[in-house]
Amino acid sequence: MQRMFNPDPQPQSHQHMSQTQDTANPAPLGLLGFGMTTVLLNIHTAGFFGLSSMILAMGIWYGGLAQIIAGIMEWRKGNTFGMLAFTSYGLFWISLVAMTVMPKVVKIDPPDSAAMAAYLFMWGLFTLVMFIGTLKLNRALQIVFASLTILFFLLAFGRGAENEDIVHIAGYEGIFCGLCAMYAGLAQVLNDVHGKVLWPLGTK
């Protein structure tokens, strides 16, 4: 199956190919780590339940560590886009958990609304540029990165303006984004296992 995050693989020597290709596809792990954690956090953001250790644990281990592992595996395959995306968003989740936990552990102030808006805006800017990269990939990833860009900017505006209505709207949009990432990851697994396209990704 075509690698999810590599639009134009460059010709490589036979030795290098044997080193980089004979491993499992790490993209489903990264996409599901991102997608499931995003869905759960944004169910909270939409106002359905409070912030608990469930979300924090998902942020550290599945959204965080699993994506970092997937990013390292993408590096092993020579895939710069996948490496950057998975390691960056994995560390995003860990940093988000740290901002929640650190004020309770050490004497440091939590981020105020302006700081949180700046944090989310920078991640939105990063994701917007990454979305441009997906224009060389498939439709599923384009939807994931486009909706994630919108999510970050909505959250940045909502947190900066201290407008909970906008934050709740962002929560629903985030649920959609996470479900799209889950679809993209599970589609690769099912298509690979069955050796045919069961769930289309919108590849060229």
Label each residue of 28-97 as H, E or C. HHHHHHHHHHHHHHHHHHCCCCCCCHHHHHHHHHHHHHHHHHHHHHHHHCCCHHHHHHHHHHHHHHHHHH
Total of domains in the chain:
1
**pLDDT tens per residue, range 162-180:** 999 999 999 999 999 999 9
> From CA 186, how far away is CA 1, in angstroms rounded?
14
Structural domain contains residue 6? no
Confirm whether 12 is domain-assigned. no
Residue 158 sits at φ, ψ, to 5 deg, of: -65, -45
Cα gap 55→177, rounded to integer Å: 17
Tens-digit pLDDT profile for residues 47-102? 999 999 999 999 999 999 999 999 999 999 999 999 999 999 999 999 999 999 99
Look at residue 164 and tell me if it is in a domain: yes
* Domain of 58, in residue numbers: 26-194
Q: Is residue 137 part of a domain?
A: yes
Q: Which of 173, 187, 193 is nearest to 32 (CA)?
A: 187
Whether 16 maps to a domain, the answer reads no
For residue 8, tell me if it sits in a domain: no
The number of C-alpha atoms within 13 Å of 35 and in the hemisphere containing its C-beta is 22
Average pLDDT, the chain: 91
Q: Classify residue 83 by burial, with Cβ atoms within 10 Å: 0-12, 13-18, 19+.
A: buried
Within a domain: 21: no
Residue 201 lies in a domain: no
